[in-house]
């Protein structure tokens, strides 16, 4: 409803579904036209954080967006499920019910944390009038990885964090740009040279006097790729990665300072929201 009491033309109820334990209201809302970006927030998606750079005009700064303990939550619930499976091995019906409940709890807690992360990121982008640049998601084959690593990667909620960022950005008119992530962690952003060998936690290119956290390095290359393919962004940002050699990585925001009450947690409504792109003029 609008402030006058009349229905908001940009929002209409499309369906209502009642299922055990909850009521799902699906809303369709017309998204505003994305604004012309004055900067970019380019981020590499990793297990514990989004890592990269915020650039606007001639200035840029390295940043990190923490996932607020998501991996620890997953590890706790994994141990709980393993304990339940061991204790209730003699009763599959009870074990299945308890495991399902534990899985629901884990998913709810993870989505709550990712809701806070994505909400804070989109708010920051809106205030800075910046586009959000992310990599197209691909997960390569698991050859050569341990069972523990494969389990961690299979539970990695990167598609969920991208989904939340994208729909929240669409509702606020924040442009989201997707780029190919190939070689981003193994390429020097200063000279463009690629390393063929395995890169550890730090990317080093001695000829360029370049040394950078591998995840941040990937974020810098994600920004360079976006600038090369998006004219509007290239007009707004003049990016010189060499100027960031001694820059300190800053957290995007302090999650502990954000409200933690029930009103700040997702109700489930926003995850059911369909975004309708604005018609082109």
- The residue among 50 and 1 whose pLDDT is bigger is 50
Q: Domain for residue 253, yes or no?
A: yes
Q: Which pLDDT belongs to residue 10?
A: 53
Q: Whole-angstrom Cα distance, residue 42 to residue 64? A: 10
Note the pTM of the prediction, 2 decimals. 0.77
Q: Which two tokens stand for residue 71?
A: 């991996």
Q: Which two tokens stand for residue 226?
A: 């976006």
Q: Domain for residue 99, yes or no?
A: yes
Q: Which domain holds residue 89?
A: 11-276
Q: Domain for residue 2, yes or no?
A: no
Q: Domain for residue 94, yes or no?
A: yes
Per-residue buried b or exposed e for 118-151, using 16+ beta carbons within 10 Å of the residue's own CB: bbbbbebbeebbbbbbbbeeeeeeeeeeeeeeee
Q: Whole-angstrom Cα distance, residue 277 to residue 175? A: 12
Q: Domain for residue 230, yes or no?
A: yes
First and final CA of the chain: distance in angstroms? Answer: 26
> How large is the C-alpha radius of gyration of the chain?
21
Q: Domain for residue 244, yes or no?
A: yes
- The total domain count for the chain is 1
Q: Domain for residue 193, yes or no?
A: yes
Q: Which pLDDT belongs to residue 148?
A: 63
- Across 85-99, 133-147, 163-177, least confident range: 133-147
Residue in the structure block whose two tokens are 């956290």? 213
Task: Give the model confidence (pLDDT) of 140-170 as tens digits.
Answer: 544 555 666 555 555 568 889 999 999 999 9
Q: Domain for residue 281, yes or no?
A: no
Rounded mean pLDDT of 244-268? 55
């Amino acid at each position: 409803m609008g402030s006058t009491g009349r229905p908001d033309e940009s929002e209409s109820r499309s369906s209502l579904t009642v299922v055990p334990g909850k009521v799902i209201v699906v809303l369709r809302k017309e998204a505003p036209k994305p604004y012309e970006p004055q900067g970019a927030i380019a981020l590499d998606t990793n297990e514990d954080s989004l890592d990269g750079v915020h650039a606007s005009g001639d200035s840029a700064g390295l940043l990190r967006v923490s996932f607020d303990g998501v991996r620890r939550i997953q590890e706790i619930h994994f141990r709980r499920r393993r304990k339940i499976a061991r204790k209730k091995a003699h009763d599959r019906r009870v074990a299945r019910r308890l495991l399902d409940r534990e899985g629901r709890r884990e998913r709810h807690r993870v989505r709550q944390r990712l809701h806070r992360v994505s909400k804070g990121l989109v708010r920051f982008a809106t205030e800075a009038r910046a586009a959000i640049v992310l990599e197209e998601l691909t997960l390569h084959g698991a050859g050569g990885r341990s069972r523990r690593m494969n389990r961690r990667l299979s539970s990695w909620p990167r598609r969920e964090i991208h989904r939340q960022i994208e729909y929240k950005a669409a509702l606020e008119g924040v442009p989201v740009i997707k780029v190919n992530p190939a070689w981003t962690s193994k390429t020097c952003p200063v000279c463009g040279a690629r390393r063929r060998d395995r890169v550890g936690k730090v990317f080093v290119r001695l000829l360029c006097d370049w040394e950078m956290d591998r995840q941040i390095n990937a974020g810098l290359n994600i920004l360079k790729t976006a600038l090369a393919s998006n004219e509007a962004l290239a007009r707004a940002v003049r990016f010189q990665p060499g100027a960031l050699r001694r820059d300190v990585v800053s957290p995007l925001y302090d999650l502990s300072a954000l409200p933690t009450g029930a009103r700040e947690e997702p109700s489930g409504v926003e995850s059911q929201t369909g975004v309708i792109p604005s018609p082109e003029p």
